[in-house]
Structure 1
């Protein structure tokens, strides 16, 4: 069931991404071209659109990864906020004057960012590993009684034989 829910969520995200992307990319393109010098090629507007719309998604992925590894999220979060501000500025710049014009122009970018946040902030399911059942004897069963081991007796070597170069080696008892 969880796999089906995840699949539906990803499908919704992809549909919203396509529609919001088309609207947002168009707004950023139009804004870029309206504010660029005469003769600027159209691809430049599309390049700005791709950059400004994909950077927030990349930042969200980096933030998620860094949270998992315990690293700082300050820099990617700052870049994320800057990219979202830029995208929203483009949406508002091409909107009709007034609150409703700005709100309607900002809906695609805000909706997509909200869905990205929902999908990327979902914690992965954690599974608790089952305890390992021993297949052989338990540690107590595997202990055997120690057989009687005779004590080690030192080797007694006569002093003249024990001396090597005038020194008695350690471990030799006189």
Structure 2
């Protein structure tokens, strides 16, 4: 009834969507940090790593698909991107569980106290900044913390990547 796209076109579109979607997801997190003033905890920063690796990987997948590289290369890159997003989803679920007190978080991810601020130089000011505890959500929107929203976004991007990798 409707014309279907070829596998190559589907993979090219999917890789392009993944580049934009993954970059936008991590861009929003960076916006909340640098524009909104939210200081990320250790787990928040760790959840960005799959995106920092995934965006360039999906750019490679987009190029491989657009340049008609062997399908195994494009599929492999998309599958690797999907695996990264599954890892990101697991991190988001873990962090959200820590925030909801369902399980304990890492021992080195808690609010601490800063030493006395004796000088006025930049290094002293940086030492005075204490990252927030991983067990406290910076905020919630529609009942989900940033970690919860990241878990959903990662699940979406994992689905897109894996579906495109196995598209016949």
TM-score category of the 2 structures, normalised to the smaller one = 0.3 to 0.5
Who wins on radius of gyration, i.e. which is larger? 1
TM normalised by structure 1 equals 0.36
Question: RCO greater where, 1 or 2, for CA within 8 Å and sep 6 or more?
Answer: 2
TM normalised by structure 2 equals 0.37
